Amino acid sequence: MNPFKKKRHYPEFWETYETTFGKRLSERLEEVRFVVLDTETTGFDYDNDRILSIGALTILNNTIAVDQTFEVYLEQHFYHAANVEIHGILRDEAQERITELEALQRFLCYVGNAVIVAHHTAFDITMINRALKRHGLPKLRNKLIDTAVLYKRTLIQSPLLQQKEHYTLDELADKFDISKRDRHTALGDAYITALAFLKILGKINGKKDLTLKRLLR
């Protein structure tokens, strides 16, 4: 802490988000709230690219409630034509759009102190943190789980199997027989990630004794 700097005042929604961390997370996995997240962006440059949409859903005790999902589309000021093809989010498409700040506000309210799960967490989280920074806010405080990393725990150690450095969401979907419909929409990808996450958990938690601490390790 810098003693010369007075504690900054953050908007109320951030304070509300912060207070959710006052409560400790349960160690029992069936009581832990996981928020599975995916963002669609205009590109992969943290400085110049922006978030197009955020999709998220909640897993509680292996269950996803469809009416408790999160999906927002953000107003855009500039567009890379190249990216539109992947995500299919057209600039003038009739989707309700909200400002970046509004989106962040709603997201923080949704996520609370949940454990965030994403495929290649670093990318989505950095994108959100950069957006937070643009509005003078600190970084996300949530615990993170990366399905790309977690997946490796399910692989057998065998001299005959070449492990890859990175596994894409498509590879996971193929491996676990998850339909790739709605791929490249934020909530669609979040759903695929969520199913992959549940299936990975099923595999590495054979004896039902996995704690949150050991999962996060």
Chain residues that interact with another protein, rule: CB under 8 A = 55, 57, 62-67, 69, 71, 155-156, 158-161, 175, 177, 179, 181-182, 185, 187-188, 191, 195, 198-199, 202, 206-207
CB-nearer residue toward another protein: 49 or 71: 71
CB-nearer residue toward another protein: 55 or 103: 55
User: Partners of 19 in the beta sheet?
Assistant: none
Q: Which alpha helices (H) appear in 88-210, and where do they start and end?
A: 100-111, 121-134, 147-150, 169-175, 186-204
Q: How far is the CB of 3 from another protein (least distance, A)?
A: 48
Q: How far is the CB of 156 from another protein (least distance, A)?
A: 5
Backbone angles phi, psi at 198, to 5 degrees: -60, -40
Tokens coding 134 = 């643009």
CB-nearer residue toward another protein: 97 or 135: 97
Q: Chain centroid to CA 136: how far?
A: 21
Q: How far is the CB of 15 from another protein (least distance, A)?
A: 28
Q: How far is the CB of 165 from another protein (least distance, A)?
A: 16
Are the CB atoms for 22 and 16 separated by under 8 Å?
A: no
Are the CB atoms for 13 and 37 separated by under 8 Å?
A: no
- Residue 74: strand, helix, or coil: strand
CB-nearer residue toward another protein: 41 or 140: 41
